[in-house]
Amino acid sequence: MVSFLIRRVFYAIIMLILVSFISFLIINLPAGDFMDQKIAELEARGDKSAVARVEDYRVRYGLDKPMLTQYWIWISNFVRGDFGLSFQFERPVKELIGQRLTLSILLSLTTLTITWLIAIPLGVYSAVNQYSIGDQVITTIAFIGIGLPGFLLALLVLYVAIVILNQDVVGLFSREFQDAPWSLAKIWDLLKHLWVPALIGAVTGTAGTIRIMRGNLLDTLGQPFIEAARARGLKSRRVIWKHAVRMAITPLVIILGTEAFPGILAGNILVEVVLGLPTIGPLYINALTTQDMFMAGTVLVLIVFLLLVGNLITDLVLAWIDPRVRLE
Amino acid sequence: MSEITDDVLVSIRNLRIRFDVRDGIVNAVDGANFTIRRGKTLGVIGESGCGKSMTAKAIMNMVPKPGVMTGEVTLYKRHVENGSQVVEEIRIDQLDKDGEEIRNIRGGVITMIFQEPMSSLTPVFTAGLHIMEAVKLHRFLPIESIGDTMTRNIQKKREVSPEEAREIAIDMLQKVGLPNAAQRVDSYPHQLSGGQRQRVMIAIALSTHPELLIADEPTTALDVSIEAQILDLMRELQETVDMAILFITHNMGVIAEMADEMVVMYMGKEVEEGSVVDIFENPKHPYTRLLLASIPEIGEKKRELATIKGMTPSPFNLPTGCVFHPRCPDFMPGKCDVVKPLLATVAKNQNARCLMYDPCWPNTAEAQAVKAKA
Ligand SMILES: Nc1ncnc2c1ncn2[C@@H]1O[C@H](COP(=O)(O)OP(=O)(O)OP(=O)(O)O)[C@@H](O)[C@H]1O
Ligand code: SF4
Ligand SMILES: [Mg+2]
C-alpha cells in the first residue's frame, strides 16, 4: 500500500511538470504577448514611468529570454510560492487568488454536500423501487435537471430574486461586508449568499448523480450476492446499504476525484460569472481573455493539481471501499 | 408422495409461479407438489429453465419481481415449549416478504447455497464477516441454566458476541476443510478459488444449524474433482447434523450419489417422483428414462450416450397435451398431443405424469386402438 502511494505521488509530480509546461506554452502561443500590448498602450498615453515599470517586469520575469528560460524562471518561483504578477492588475497573483480560492473551495464543498445528500438517497430509492411512481417522478425531474444549463437557472433565479422578490442575491457578500475584515457577521452574510449558487450547482449536479446512482445500484441489486445476502435473513435495508450501495457507489467516488476536485476552480464558471461571485472562475476567464499569462497559468496548474490530488484521494477511497483494488 | 407425517419438514402444494412479461405469461412453476422430509435429501432434477431455482426461492418466499406465487408452502418447525416438543405449522407463502418471521427462517431454519460460488459472496466482505453476519442474526447461546434440572428447558438465550461469532466462523471454516482457517477467515472472496468459495458458502449455510439446506446446483460451476470433494463434504456434514437437503441439479449422477428421494421436473411440473433407488432401477416416465440413459458409466468404453432430441419448448408456446410429446420416444399420436396427463401412481411410492400410466387412459378404447396400431 505504501509503495502504491509513493508510486502514485511520483506519477502525479511528473504529470504536474508536464502539464505546467504545456499550459505555459499554450498561454504564450498567441503572437504579441500581454506586455507588448500594455507597452504600446502606455506609450501611446505617453506614460514614461509606467513604461519603465513594465520594462522592469519584462526583465524580472525574463520575458525577453527564450521560452524555456522563461518557463524555468516561472516554475522555480512557483514552487517557492511566488506565482508571479498579474500584469493586468499589477498585483501578485497570489494576493488576487488568495481569498477567492477559499470562497471557491467553500462553494464547491457546499454544493457537493448538498448534491450528495439529495442525490444518493433519491438514486437509491429510485433503484430499489424501480418503475414505481416515485421512481418515475424522480427520473423525470432528473432528466429536466440534466437538460437545464446551470447558467440559465442562475439567470432565472436572478430574475425572480431581483425583479420579483427584490432580494440581493448577487455575489457572496452584501455591499457593507465586501471589504470588511472577517467577523461573525460577515460569515453569516456569506452563508446567506452562499446557498443560492450552491443550490443552483446542486440542482444541475444532482440530476446526473441520481441517474448514475440508480443505474449502478440496479446492476448491483441484480447480482447473485444480493440474493445470497437476502437468503441469509438480512433486513432489506441492510442488504441495500451494506451490501449493494457500498459496491454501487464506486463510480461516484471516481467522479469525485476526476470532476468534483478540478471543478472546485472551474466547475461552474458560467454560473459564477452570471451571479458575479468573487471566486476563481470569473478571474480565470478574465485572465484567459486578456492573456494575463501568470494568472492564467497559475489557475491552470492549480486545476491540474486538484485533479491529481483528487485522483489520489479517489484511489485511496476506492481501496478502502473495495479490497480488490488494494492488491494491485 | 403424500400424507403429512411426523417426519415432514416442508410441504409444497400446488405451487405455481408465473411471470407476466411483455411476450406473454411464463409459468415458471406450474403446479408442483412435493414433500421434504426431516434429515433426508430430496434431489430435484431437470433441464435448464424447468423451474428448479424458482421452486427453491419459493420455499424461502423469495420469488423475484415480477413473479407471482400461488399455492402452499408449509414449514413444520419443531421447537421445545415447556419441556415438550411441539411442531409449529408456518405457511411460508403467506408471510410478509421482508417481515421478521420470514427473516428468522431465512438463513436460520432454511439456508441456501447457490450455483455461482464466484459471485455469491459480497466482494467487499471477508469470508469471516459473511459467517459472522449470519451467526449474529440466527445463533443464540444459552445463558447459564437458571434453577435446577426441572427448569432446564426454560433456558434463557442470548446473542453471540463478536468474539464468539469470529470463533464460530473459524471453526466452521475448519469444518468445511478450508486450509488455514484462522487466516482464511480474513480473506476476501477474490482471494479464494471457486471450490474454496463454495466451501465458504457451505460454512455460512451450516453455521446457523439449519433444519433444511437448499443446494441449488452447488457444484455445476466447479471442476469434476472439486465437485467430488464438495459432494463428499456435504454428505459428511449432513451425517453429523440432523438436517434435510433439497439438492437441485441437472446431473443424474449427482442425484444417485446424494439423494434419498427424487423429483424429476419438466417445464414447471414434476413428471416423476419416488425414491432414488426405485426410480434408478425402474424409471417409468420416458423423460426420466432418457435422463438415465444419458449418464456415462464409469469404465464404459465409448458408448453413444442417449441424448434427448430437440430442445425445451418456448414457455410462450407450450405443446398441447403432454408438454413432452414433441421429444418423447413413446409419443402416442392422437393422444399425447391432446390429453394432459395427470400425476399417477405407478408403483409403491412412485408417481409419474404420463398417459401410459394414467389410470383412466390405458383402459379406454382409444388406448387400445393406439396400441393396436403401434
Ligand atoms: N424475471 C423473470 N421474468 C420472466 N421469466 C422469468 C424470470 N425469472 C425466471 N423466469 C423464468 O422462469 C423459468 C424457470 O427459471 P429457473 O431459474 O427456476 O430455472 P432452473 O430450472 O433453475 O434452470 P437452471 O438449470 O438454468 O438454473 C425460466 O424458464 C425463466 O424463463
Ligand atoms: S404422455 Fe405421451 S408424450 Fe407424454 S411422456 Fe407419456 S408417452 Fe410421452
Ligand atoms: Mg437454476
Q: Above 80 in pLDDT, residue B150?
A: no
User: Who wins on pLDDT, B242 or A120?
Assistant: A120
Quick check: A80 contacting B, CB < 8 Å? Answer: no
| Residue at a domain's end among A35, A50, A82 | A82
pLDDT in tens, B199-216: 999 999 999 999 999 999
The pLDDT-based confidence of B138 (bands split at 50, 70, 90) is very high
With both helix axes pointing from N to C terminus, report the angle between A93-128 and A184-221 in degrees, rounded to the nearest 10.
40
Q: What distance in Å separates the CA atoms of residue B309 and residue B292, rounded to the nearest whole number?
A: 14
Q: Above 50 in pLDDT, residue A210?
A: yes
Task: Tell which atom from ligand 1 comes closest to the C-alpha of B268.
Answer: 14
A114 and A52 in one domain? Answer: no
* B299 located within any domain: yes
User: Who wins on pLDDT, A32 or A2?
Assistant: A2
Q: What distance in Å separates the CA atoms of residue B174 and residue B302, rounded to the nearest whole number?
A: 41
* A36 located within any domain: yes
Tell me the three state secondary structure of residue B354: coil
Contact: B60, A236; criterion CB under 8 Å: no
Backbone angles phi, psi at A61, to 5 degrees: -95, 15
Q: Which of B123, B63, B323, B163 is nearest to A325 (CA)?
A: B123
Within B106-260, residue ranges assigned H as helices are: 127-138, 162-175, 181-184, 194-206, 224-240, 252-258
Lowest mean pLDDT among A118-132, A194-208, A236-250, B177-191: A194-208
| Residue at a domain's end among B185, B209, B233 | B209
A133 and A208 in one domain? Answer: yes
The pLDDT of residue B17 is 95
Q: Which of B237, B236, B241, B195 is nearest to B218 (CA)?
A: B195
Tell me the three state secondary structure of residue B34: strand
pLDDT in tens, B212-264: 999 999 988 888 888 888 899 898 888 888 899 999 998 898 999 999 999 99
* B159 located within any domain: yes
CATH of the domain at A124: 1.10.3720.10
Task: Tell which atom from ligand 1 comes closest to the C-alpha of B50.
Answer: 21
Distance to chain A for B107, nearest Cα, Å? 4
Q: Which of A225, A231, A236 is closest, CB to CB, to B122?
A: A225
| Residue at a domain's end among A82, A111, A130 | A82
A74 and A179 in one domain? Answer: no
pLDDT in tens, A81-117: 888 888 778 888 888 888 888 888 888 888 888 999 9
* B356 located within any domain: yes
Question: Does the CB atom of residue B8 touch ligand 1 within 6 A?
Answer: no
Q: Which three cell numbers stand for residue A304?
A: 491540474
- Are the C-beta atoms of B55 and B12 separated by less than 8 Å? yes
The pLDDT of residue B324 is 92
Q: What distance in Å separates the CA atoms of residue A157 and residue A150, rounded to the nearest whole number?
A: 10
The pLDDT of residue B9 is 94
The pLDDT-based confidence of B1 (bands split at 50, 70, 90) is very low
* A92 located within any domain: no
* A205 located within any domain: yes
Contact: B120, A224; criterion CB under 8 Å: yes
Lowest mean pLDDT among B37-51, B163-177, B326-340: B326-340
Q: Which of A290, A305, A285, A278 is nearest to A78 (CA)?
A: A305
A215 and A133 in one domain? Answer: yes
Question: Does the CB atom of residue B37 touch ligand 1 within 6 A?
Answer: no
With both helix axes pointing from N to C terminus, report the angle between A93-128 and A280-289 in degrees, rounded to the nearest 10.
120
A30 and A151 in one domain? Answer: no
Task: Tell which atom from ligand 2 comes closest to the C-alpha of B323.
Answer: 4
What domain range is B313 assigned to?
A: 286-373
* A17 located within any domain: no
- Are the C-beta atoms of B61 and B102 separated by less than 8 Å? yes
A154 and A53 in one domain? Answer: no
Question: Does the CB atom of residue B117 touch ligand 1 within 6 A?
Answer: no
Q: What distance in Å separates the CA atoms of residue B29 and residue B270, rounded to the nearest whole number?
A: 9
A131 and A48 in one domain? Answer: no
Residue with cell 528560460: A69
Would you mind telling me the total number of residues written for chain B in this entry?
A: 374
B272 sits in which H/E element = strand B269-275
- Are the C-beta atoms of A23 and A301 separated by less than 8 Å? yes
- Are the C-beta atoms of B54 and B63 separated by less than 8 Å? yes
Q: Above 60 in pLDDT, residue B300?
A: no
Q: Which three cell numbers stand for residue A52?
A: 519603465
* A74 located within any domain: yes
Quick check: B99 contacting A, CB < 8 Å? Answer: no
Identity of residue B56? A
Residue with cell 476563481: A280
Residue A161: alpha-carbon gap to chain centroid: 26
Measured between alpha carbons, how far apart are the two ends of chain A, in Å?
9
Q: How many CB pairs under 8 A join A and B?
A: 70
- DSSP-assigned beta bridge partners for residue B72: B13
Q: A164: which DSSP letter?
A: I
- DSSP-assigned beta bridge partners for residue A306: none
Residue B6: alpha-carbon gap to chain centroid: 20
User: Who wins on pLDDT, B35 or A316?
Assistant: B35
Question: Does the CB atom of residue B43 touch ligand 2 within 6 A?
Answer: no
CA of A29 to the centre of ligand 3 (A): 65
Lowest mean pLDDT among A65-69, A149-153, A174-178, A199-203: A174-178
Q: What angle do CA A127, A128, A130 make, to 5 degrees?
A: 60
Lowest mean pLDDT among A210-224, A258-272, A309-323, B229-243: A258-272
A209 and A169 in one domain? Answer: yes
* B70 located within any domain: no
A117 and A52 in one domain? Answer: no
Longest CA span, chain B: 80
Measured from the alpha carbon of residue B28, the closest ligand is 1
What residues contact residue A250 under an 8 Å CB cut-off, 6+ apart?
Answer: A216, A318, A321, A322
- DSSP-assigned beta bridge partners for residue B90: B75
- Are the C-beta atoms of A235 and B98 separated by less than 8 Å? yes
- Are the C-beta atoms of B246 and B238 separated by less than 8 Å? no
Q: Which residues in chain A are contacts of B119 at CB distance < 8 A?
A: 223-225
Q: Given its phi and psi angles, is residue B255 left (phi above 0), alpha (psi -120 to 50 degrees) or beta?
A: alpha
The pLDDT of residue A165 is 76
Tell me the three state secondary structure of residue B68: strand
A132 and A72 in one domain? Answer: no
A124 and A59 in one domain? Answer: no
What would the mean pLDDT of B23-43 be, rounded to a whole number?
92
- DSSP-assigned beta bridge partners for residue B87: B78
Exposed / middle / buried, residue A64 (Cβ in 10 Å: 0-12, 13-18, 19+): exposed
Q: Which three cell numbers stand for residue A263?
A: 471543478
pTM of the model: 0.82
Q: What distance in Å separates the CA atoms of residue B189 and residue B123, rounded to the nearest whole number?
A: 6
pLDDT in tens, A225-242: 999 999 999 999 999 999
What would the mean pLDDT of B21-47 be, rounded to a whole number?
91
Q: Which of A224, A233, A247 is closest, CB to CB, to B114?
A: A224
For a pocket test of ligand 2, which of B265, B266, B271, B330 has the largest count of ligand atoms closer than 8 A to its C-beta?
A: B330
β-bridge pairing B212-216 and B244-249: parallel
Q: Which three cell numbers stand for residue B114?
A: 447457490
A232 and A266 in one domain? Answer: yes
| Residue at a domain's end among B209, B229, B254 | B209
Distance to chain A for B214, nearest Cα, Å? 10
Contact: A229, B138; criterion CB under 8 Å: no
- Are the C-beta atoms of B147 and B212 separated by less than 8 Å? no
Q: Which of A228, A233, A243 is closest, CB to CB, to B114?
A: A228
State which residue of chain A sits closest to B63, comparing Cα positions. A227
Q: What distance in Å separates the CA atoms of residue B263 and residue A89, rounded to the nearest whole number?
A: 87
Quick check: B122 contacting A, CB < 8 Å? Answer: yes
pLDDT in tens, B279-299: 999 999 999 999 998 776 655
* B327 located within any domain: yes
Q: What is the mean pLDDT of chain A?
A: 83
The pLDDT of residue B133 is 94
Quick check: A324 contacting B, CB < 8 Å? Answer: yes
Question: Does the CB atom of residue B51 touch ligand 1 within 6 A?
Answer: yes
The pLDDT of residue B297 is 62
Exposed / middle / buried, residue A29 (Cβ in 10 Å: 0-12, 13-18, 19+): exposed
DSSP string of B293-338?
HTSPPTT----PPP---S-PPPTTSPPSSSTTGGG-TT--TTTTTT
* A112 located within any domain: yes
What would the mean pLDDT of B46-53 be, rounded to a whole number?
90
Task: Tell which atom from ligand 1 comes closest to the C-alpha of B26.
Answer: 5
pLDDT in tens, B85-127: 788 899 999 999 889 999 999 999 999 998 888 899 999 999 9
Lowest mean pLDDT among A64-78, B1-15, B339-353: B1-15
For a pocket test of ligand 1, which of B16, B18, B19 has the largest count of ligand atoms closer than 8 A to its C-beta?
A: B19
Contact: A233, B119; criterion CB under 8 Å: no
What would the mean pLDDT of A158-185 be, rounded to a whole number?
77
| Number of domains within chain B | 2
**Closest C-alpha residue for ligand 1 atom 18:** B51
CA of A46 to the centre of ligand 3 (A): 89
What domain range is A228 assigned to?
A: 99-321
What would the mean pLDDT of A202-216 be, rounded to a whole number?
89
* A260 located within any domain: yes
Task: Among A131, A219, A232, A243, pick the best mutation site for testing chain B contact (most B Cβ within 10 A).
Answer: A232
| Number of domains within chain A | 2
Task: Tell which atom from ligand 1 comes closest to the C-alpha of B21.
Answer: 4
The pLDDT of residue B2 is 45
Q: Above 80 in pLDDT, residue A174?
A: no
Q: Residue B309 CB: number of other CB atoms within 10 A?
A: 10
Q: Which residues in chain A are contacts of B98 at CB distance < 8 A?
A: 235-236
Radius of gyration of chain B measured on its C-alpha atoms? 23
Q: Above 70 in pLDDT, residue B367?
A: no
pLDDT in tens, A179-199: 777 788 888 888 878 888 888
Contact: B124, A247; criterion CB under 8 Å: yes
Tell me the three state secondary structure of residue A233: coil
- The complex scores an ipTM of 0.86
The pLDDT of residue A276 is 83
**Closest C-alpha residue for ligand 2 atom 2:** B336
